[in-house]
């Protein structure tokens, strides 16, 4: 499956953005889908994920109550709605897909994801 992320940009602190991840060559409902981010000089960080079966979601503590992952099967797209953005949210955001069978507790493990999009840059100014 190929993944194409978009929706990044420059926004002021407190603002909102919605990232999109369009899948081709596979259906998002057949994969567990995740969002990860990486700021310069830092390691890749888990943001949010949705399990393929049942759609259970998991969000990192740092974004809980501000970010929401969702999925539109008809559009074969996964979204990350980001509200109340902070300067520390500045990073390149990547979407990723993991094969079926990924258990809920492993959704935050980037090593479990097989397919990755190219990333979209989010910059939050103070």
Q: Rounded to whole angstroms, what are the CA distances from 101 to 18, 24, 31, 108, 117?
A: 28, 20, 9, 14, 21
pLDDT tens-digit readout, 84-107: 999 999 999 999 999 888 888 999
Handedness of CA 26, 22, 38, 58 (dihedral sign): negative
pLDDT tens-digit readout, 2-24: 999 999 999 999 999 999 999 99
């Amino acid at each position: 499956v190929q993944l194409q992320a978009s929706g990044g940009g420059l926004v002021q602190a407190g603002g909102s953005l919605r990232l999109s991840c369009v899948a081709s060559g596979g259906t998002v409902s057949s994969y567990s889908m995740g969002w990860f981010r990486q700021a310069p000089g830092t390691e890749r960080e888990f943001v949010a994920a949705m399990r393929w079966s049942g759609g259970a979601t998991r969000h990192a503590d740092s974004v809980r109550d501000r970010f929401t992952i969702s999925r539109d099967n008809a559009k074969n797209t996964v979204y990350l709605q980001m509200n109340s953005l902070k300067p520390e949210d500045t990073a390149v955001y990547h979407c990723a897909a993991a094969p079926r069978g990924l258990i809920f507790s492993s959704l935050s493990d980037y090593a479990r994801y097989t397919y990755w999009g190219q990333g979209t840059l989010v910059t939050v100014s103070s």
